[in-house]
């Protein structure tokens, strides 16, 4: 194949032309010290004329938060754990960076005027800040999938009401977003989420029973935070992504397939009524979907390795086995059941994964805990944020009790 597409230099010129005359994009990063947050910071540092930082938030890592705030000239830095307030203040003394602490301050950071909020907190803890940004009408680059699982209907209603733009960052959803003609959704017959199958795709049940947290966080293709790595290993990640895709693209569960593709080169596919299937491909590096959101509707150059299909040689596929990966089946059932079930699924999973990482329960007990809590709390209706936070709390305490019983 001959040379196609733009060289990095012309791509950069194109991106700068696109931005010409416009002020730099003002970005807030919620969860700036995590895996997605760091990749976002890495991209922004490469394009200092294109972006400015309004606010950065983190939960505990004061040192990295302060360093990043200095480096990027952030207007504001917020630490979620209020015990670290004085340390953050000291670390940023004399820099002019505003400093705040606590969960309410993270919500306020999300409300500060910005062109884009990158939602990269892990878990349902990101819900209130994301909702706050959505209600301000600020474009949201959404990595924090748990928020859509926990409160999808509410979030989508608020997005609609405030005319907010959502740009998916999860690689599968970014792939679908890139190939989907959202104005012609009626021609889409299915969306197909690809899954690597995680590090234990070929493990026997016996081997799965002995999996350690260290093994579970070492993903073969992607470098990610601990929670999402464990979710990838149990395949709950694909279950959460199924629910995420349902909300983002408005398709029923029955039209969303999961396909195991161990190389993680095809990030997802969209099938149309005429038999045409469109896919998005790339080297597995989250900086591509993040860049896609940061520069949207333009494109910006990234240091991501060029995809070399000849060197890769083969792309392989297999069906996802719902029995082997019961977490995926649980997520499908929760989405079918609706109401509070996805909120319960997410909260119980967060507790179960935390307990596994802390060495309190075994890998194979994670989906069992989620199923027990789903059975216990059954179907309830949820509409307002208050219902969601109540159900989330109940599911966490039920899952905590189940962990104590198992660890007993």
By the criterion CB under 6 A, which residues form the site for ligand NAD?
Answer: 31-37, 58-59, 61, 80, 106, 120-122, 125, 143-146, 170, 222, 224-225, 227-228, 286
Nearer to ligand NAD, 19 or 30 (CB): 30
Q: Which residues of 286-323 are buried (b: 16+ CB within 10 A; e: fewer)?
A: bbbbbbbbbbbeebbbbeeeeeeeeeeeeeeeeebeee
Residue 260: name its binding partner from ligand NAD, Mg ion, none (Cβ under 5 to 8 Å by kind): none
Q: Smallest gap, in angstroms, from Cβ of residue 268 to ligand NAD? A: 12
Nearer to ligand NAD, 33 or 164 (CB): 33
Q: Smallest gap, in angstroms, from Cβ of residue 92 to ligand NAD? A: 17
- The alpha carbon dihedral of 166, 242, 389, 65 has a sign of negative
Residue 37: name its binding partner from ligand NAD, Mg ion, none (Cβ under 5 to 8 Å by kind): ligand NAD
Applying CB under 5 A, which residues contact Mg ion? 170-172
Residue 301: name its binding partner from Mg ion, ligand NAD, none (Cβ under 5 to 8 Å by kind): none
Nearer to Mg ion, 100 or 270 (CB): 270
User: Among residues 148, 149, 114, 115, which one has the least CA distance to residue 130?
Assistant: 148
Cα Rg for the chain, rounded, in angstroms?
21
Sheet strand arrangement including 139-142:
98-101, 76-79, 51-58, 25-30, 116-119, 139-142, 166-168
Q: Smallest gap, in angstroms, from Cβ of residue 321 to ligand NAD? A: 23
Q: Smallest gap, in angstroms, from Cβ of residue 9 to ligand NAD? A: 28
Residue 159: name its binding partner from ligand NAD, Mg ion, none (Cβ under 5 to 8 Å by kind): none
**122 vs 119: CA distance, rounded Å:** 9
Nearer to ligand NAD, 121 or 293 (CB): 121
**63 vs 299: CA distance, rounded Å:** 32
Looking at residue 240, the DSSP 8-state letter turns out to be H
Question: Closest residue (Cβ) to ligand NAD?
Answer: 34
Residue 292: name its binding partner from ligand NAD, Mg ion, none (Cβ under 5 to 8 Å by kind): none
Nearer to ligand NAD, 19 or 154 (CB): 154
Phi first, then psi: give them for residue 34, nearest 5 degrees. Answer: -85, -175
**250 vs 247: CA distance, rounded Å:** 5
Nearer to Mg ion, 38 or 47 (CB): 38
Q: Give the CA angle between residues 245, 222, 139 to the nearest 5°.
A: 45
Nearer to ligand NAD, 17 or 305 (CB): 305
Q: Smallest gap, in angstroms, from Cβ of residue 250 to ligand NAD? A: 20
Question: Closest residue (Cβ) to Mg ion?
Answer: 170
User: Among residues 120, 121, 124, which one has the least CA distance to residue 388?
Assistant: 124
Longest dimension (CA), the chain: 63
Q: Smallest gap, in angstroms, from Cβ of residue 268 to Mg ion? A: 9
**185 vs 48: CA distance, rounded Å:** 37
Q: Smallest gap, in angstroms, from Cβ of residue 106 to ligand NAD? A: 6
């Amino acid at each position: 194949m001959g040379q196609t597409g733009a060289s990095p230099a012309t791509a950069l010129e194109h991106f700068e032309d696109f931005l010409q005359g416009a002020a730099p994009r003002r970005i807030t990063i919620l969860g700036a010290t995590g895996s997605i947050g760091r990749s976002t910071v890495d991209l922004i540092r490469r394009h200092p004329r294109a972006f400015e930082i309004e606010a950065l938030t983190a939960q505990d890592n004061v040192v990295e938060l302060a360093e990043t705030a200095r480096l990027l000239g952030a207007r504001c830095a917020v630490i979620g754990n209020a015990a670290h307030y004085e340390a953050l203040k000291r670390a940023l003394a004399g820099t002019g960076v505003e400093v705040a602490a606590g969960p309410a301050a993270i919500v306020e950071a999300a409300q500060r005027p910005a062109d884009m909020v990158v939602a990269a907190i892990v878990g349902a803890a990101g819900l209130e800040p994301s909702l706050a940004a959505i209600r301000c009408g600020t474009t949201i680059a959404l990595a924090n999938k748990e928020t859509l699982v926990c409160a999808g209907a509410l979030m989508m209603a608020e997005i609609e009401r405030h005319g907010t733009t959502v740009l998916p960052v999860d690689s599968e959803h970014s792939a679908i977003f890139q190939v989907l003609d959202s104005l012609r959704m009626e021609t889409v017959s299915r969306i197909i989420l690809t899954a690597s199958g995680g590090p234990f795709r070929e493990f026997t049940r016996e081997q799965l029973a002995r999996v350690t947290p260290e093994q579970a966080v070492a993903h073969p293709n992607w470098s990610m935070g601990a929670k999402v790595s464990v979710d990838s290993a149990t395949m709950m990640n694909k279950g959460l992504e199924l629910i995420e895709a349902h909300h983002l693209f408005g398709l029923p569960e029955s039209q969303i397939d999961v396909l195991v593709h161990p190389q993680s080169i095809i990030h997802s596919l969209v099938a149309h009524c005429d038999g045409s299937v469109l896919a998005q491909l790339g080297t597995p590096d989250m900086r591509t979907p993040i860049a896609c959101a940061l520069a949207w509707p333009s494109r910006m150059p990234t240091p991501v390795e060029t995809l070399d299909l000849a060197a890769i040689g083969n792309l392989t596929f297999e069906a996802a086995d719902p029995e082997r990966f019961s977490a995926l089946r649980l997520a499908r059932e929760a989405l079918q059941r609706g109401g509070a079930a996805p909120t319960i699924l997410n909260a119980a999973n967060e507790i179960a994964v935390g307990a596994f990482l802390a060495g309190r329960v075994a890998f194979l007990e994670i989906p069992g805990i989620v199923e027990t809590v789903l059975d216990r709390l059954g179907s309830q209706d949820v509409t307002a944020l208050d219902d969601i936070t109540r159900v989330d709390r109940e599911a966490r305490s039920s899952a905590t009790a189940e962990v104590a019983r198992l660890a007993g």
